[in-house]
Amino acid sequence: MSSTPFLRYAGIGVAALAIVGGAVYLLERGMAPPGEPTTASTAATNPKMPPAADEQAPPTAVQNDQLVSLTAQARRLAADGKFDEAEAALQKADTVYRGWSETEKARSEIAQMRTPEVQLKNQLERARLAIEHDDRATAEKALAEAERLNAQAPQIAELRQSLKEAEQKDVRRGNRVTELLTRMREDIARGDFAAADGDLNAAERIDLQDPAIRDARRELARAREAKQKEQQKN
């Protein structure tokens, strides 16, 4: 048997195998899933992907209460001129929740309050309110601080005059209370308790908080009780 037909058939077989292998290779390339585009498509169509690691959740209810309390405390301290303590309160708020908008707002307000102009305005207003409420100690303290900030401010002289007038008014009021209590004791000595009550009530209308008036009220009650016991014996 000649070798020529055998070689012919062998060549045909090798060629057929090459064709089949190429077809399989091309089929696999055509069916293979795309790489990065598929991943990007999946991410784009998935609306429930977790937030980025650097996103901060909003404050909890407990944190919110703490933040409100601390920022309010900081504002009160700053209003009293205690700026370092106010900043300490804001730093505590930062440890509770960093970047809270109200904390930053309070910090900005307090920075403005620390300027000499705003401090002077606040001290003058504090002195004015203290004078209106007859709080001379607070008024004096506020005026002293205002003078430290700007001794030439014309409002200081005006408020000192108002404070002086208030003190004079207090002196006149105290003198009137003393006069009425003296008359009350004279009424008691005469046994005229109705008149004594009238004088004491008039003194209370002038200054109910005067401790001398409270003492006088007890004094009148003891005198009336003693008079009643004396009358019962007779």
List, for residues 79-129, the tens digit of each pLDDT value: 888 999 999 999 999 999 999 999 999 999 999 888 999 989 989 999 999
Q: Is residue 218 part of a domain?
A: yes
Same-domain status, 113 and 149: yes
Query: CA 177, CA 213: separation in Å to the nearest integer?
Result: 8
Q: Give the domain extent around 117.
A: 62-166
Report the share of the chain in percent with pLDDT over 90: 61
Instruction: Indicate yes or no: pTM above 0.85.
Output: no
Identify the pLDDT of residue 208. 83
The number of folded domains in the chain is 2
Secondary structure class of 161 (helix, strand, coil): helix
Q: Could you say which of 146, 166, 186 is where a domain stops?
A: 166
Q: Is residue 55 part of a domain?
A: no
pLDDT in tens, 133-190: 989 999 999 999 999 999 999 999 999 999 999 999 889 999 999 999 999 999 999 9
Average pLDDT over residues 198-212: 92
Identify the pLDDT of residue 47. 46
Same-domain status, 111 and 127: yes
Same-domain status, 179 and 189: yes
Query: CA 74, CA 107: separation in Å to the nearest integer?
Result: 9
Same-domain status, 147 and 187: no
